[in-house]
Amino acid sequence: MHVLFLCTGNSCRSQMAEGWARKFAPSNIQVQSAGIEAHGKNPRAIAVMADAGVDISKQESTKLTSAMLAWADVVVTVCGHADEHCPALPPTVHKIHWPLNDPAKAAGTEEEIMAVFRASRDDIRQRVQQLMSELAATA
C-alpha cells in the first residue's frame, strides 16, 4: 500500500503528515509527500515535529510528478488548493481530503505562531494515526 500526502508547496502540512505516517505506518504501508509546487521545508514545522520526537529534517520538499500518482494507492490532499489542483487520478486510487488550515499563514508573536504550528501538528497526528489504523485493517 502506497500513501501520498499532497499539499500546495510540500513545506508544512504534508511534511508533517509524512513524518507522522513514517512513525505510525505498519511495514506494509509506504508513504511520501509532494506539493503542487515545491516551496522548501518550513523550519517551524521541522521544529514542532522535533519537539514531538519526529525528525522530518531529512525529508525533501518535492513537486508532484506523474510517477508519484502512478505509485499511489491513496492520495490525501491536506489543503483546499491541492484538492482543487490535484490532477485526475486513476480510478484505482482512493482520494481523501483533509481541509487543514495552513499554519504558515499564522500571525502574531513567535509564541502565538508556534502554538498554531503545534495545534496543526497534533491535529495531523490524530488524522494520520486514524488513517494508518484504517488502512492496516484493510491491507
Taking only the tens place, the pLDDT of each residue in 38-75 is 888 999 999 999 999 999 999 999 999 999 999 999 99
pLDDT for position 139 = 64
Confidence band of 79 (pLDDT split at 50, 70, 90):
confident
Q: Which residues are catalytic?
A: 7, 79, 86
Cell matching residue 54: 519526529
pLDDT for position 129 = 97
Confidence band of 89 (pLDDT split at 50, 70, 90):
confident
Rounded distance between C-alpha atoms, residue 22 and residue 38, angstroms: 20
Q: Return the CATH number at 28.
A: 3.40.50.2300
Evaluate whether 10 touches 61 at the Cβ level (below 8 Å).
yes
Looking at the structure of the chain, the number of domains it has is: 1
The parent domain of residue 118 ranges over 2-138
Write b or e for each residue in 77-113: b if 16 or more Cβ atoms lie within 10 A of its Cβ, otherwise e.
bbbebbbeebeeeeeebeeebbebebbbebeeeeeeb
Cell matching residue 120: 496543526
pLDDT for position 88 = 81
pLDDT for position 30 = 96
